[in-house]
A and B are shown apart, each in its own frame.
Chain A
């Protein structure tokens, strides 16, 4: 299912899979307990929007790719009963937390009676990037013809990843190799960024233009958290004065956990001709599955992995870095975005040059748009804004974020530099 090796040539389904419809739920910081805003309900809402946006009838949908995990780092309290009003509002499954802190295709289909023709379901675990790659391959292989790809995130009361095993005096499982010494999720990226700064003579302050840009683009993303809930610009001064979480990662280098869901409708170019929106063609997919040797991946492993990802993507799509109109690589920690774009050689940069690029015009009006979506830093922790933006940019409906230069080919994917999944998108079919 995953294209993990170099040397495979053009992707066998290059240009034969298209994204057409987009759906987004509203965003919120945490679940308010209302069944209508549960993660399951939000997924249904996003899926219905994607169907409507594409202009298909629900009975034409024959596939669903989804993720069973919906956690942002918050877990349903052990032993706490699922609220009765939630149970009354939805058809349940044998998994009590389905729709509230987990997701299954069975739950979605039971609660979307209009989906009468779903014959294919598959899990794309971890994040939307994985689900999109799975869906692209499935449509290409003919396993599904009109496929919804959905990802939902729940967030509950309490601080991120506090509680559970982290609150205990003993540690079991794989967590023991990190919990004894480390802490926040951004630690590993912070350590890699520290190595990056020492290797290339860069500083954390040089991140400011990028992070400020991300929030600015997030405020132009009507579907996003900051635009909907806290329309507050971020200044360079705010960024430089922010408290450390894991130095050199500060508060704004970390994305804010939120509740939100999104869905996309994938199909074949032939089917897309009859749909409401302009198709966006997928030229290539790639995944990184390189194993690491130590407890944490070091900078050099990240650099090797991202360079390989770039080569796989370009090889599969039959393009070069200079063909990219923009990039939407993952930013949810901001301090690894440069690993992604240096691996791609975006805008002609080489290793150690991304932060120099950030000091130039990286705006959506400029010659080298960097993360025109604003990413997770701009709209909250969902790992899907970059994909929505790629589709919207190439359909010409990114609104105030629409890049000034002609949007022809974009790239998105993530999450981490190692272990991620990535796609090349095009406004036009390959010639």
Chain B
């Protein structure tokens, strides 16, 4: 499903570079032993940016919940309405989540609690890859 192409910035470039290499990484604060996503320039818990590192994760997770979007303000998504948007909790830490259109899952037939695995989709304008998730059958 076509999406806007994200423009990497200094603080999140390692995330997007990893996507282009087919790897999923998230930030980890070494001082707090705490994963976080989306990336930040500082750890919200300890306030330090000095202890942030990038950690590769398994790319496995579970579907927490979802909604079905019928009226998006984002132009490039409107042609595919209605579409699923699921919240994916990472296997390594369910407190960290990502969003997904769940490619391959029919609209409004989302199996909440099901296992999912990450894939990477290229966005049309720049080719930047972004994470997506598919239900593991």
Contact = CB atoms under 8 A, between A and B. Distances in A.
Interface of A: 159-162, 166-174, 176-184, 187, 190-192, 194-195, 198, 243-249, 291, 293-296, 298-299
B45 A291 contact: yes
A391 B101 CA distance: 45
A176 to B, nearest CB: 4
Given A169-B76, A183-B74, A248-B67, 19 more contacts: A168-B75, A169-B4, A170-B5, A170-B6, A171-B6, A172-B6, A181-B85, A183-B73, A191-B66, A191-B87, A194-B65, A243-B71, A245-B71, A246-B68, A249-B67, A294-B87, A295-B99, A296-B87, A298-B87
Given A171-B4, A172-B7, A247-B82, A182 B44 contact: no
Contacts of B76: 169
Nearest to B38: A177
Given A179-B4, A298-B64, A299-B65, A244 B70 contact: yes
Given A249-B67, A298-B64, A169 B73 contact: no
Nearest to B77: A183
A187 B87 CA distance: 11
Interface of B: 3-7, 9, 12, 35-38, 44-45, 64-77, 82, 85, 87, 89, 93, 95-101, 108, 112, 123-126, 130
Contacts of A187: 67, 69, 85
B67 A191 contact: yes
Contact of B70 (A171, A194, A243): A243
Contacts of B126: 170
B9 A195 contact: no
Nearest to B128: A170
Nearest to A291: B44
Q: Which are the 8 A-B pairs with shortest beta-carbon distances?
A: A183-B72, A294-B97, A181-B99, A195-B65, A190-B67, A247-B68, A161-B73, A171-B4
Contacts of A169: 4-5, 76, 124-125
A296 B66 CA distance: 11
A293 B26 CA distance: 12
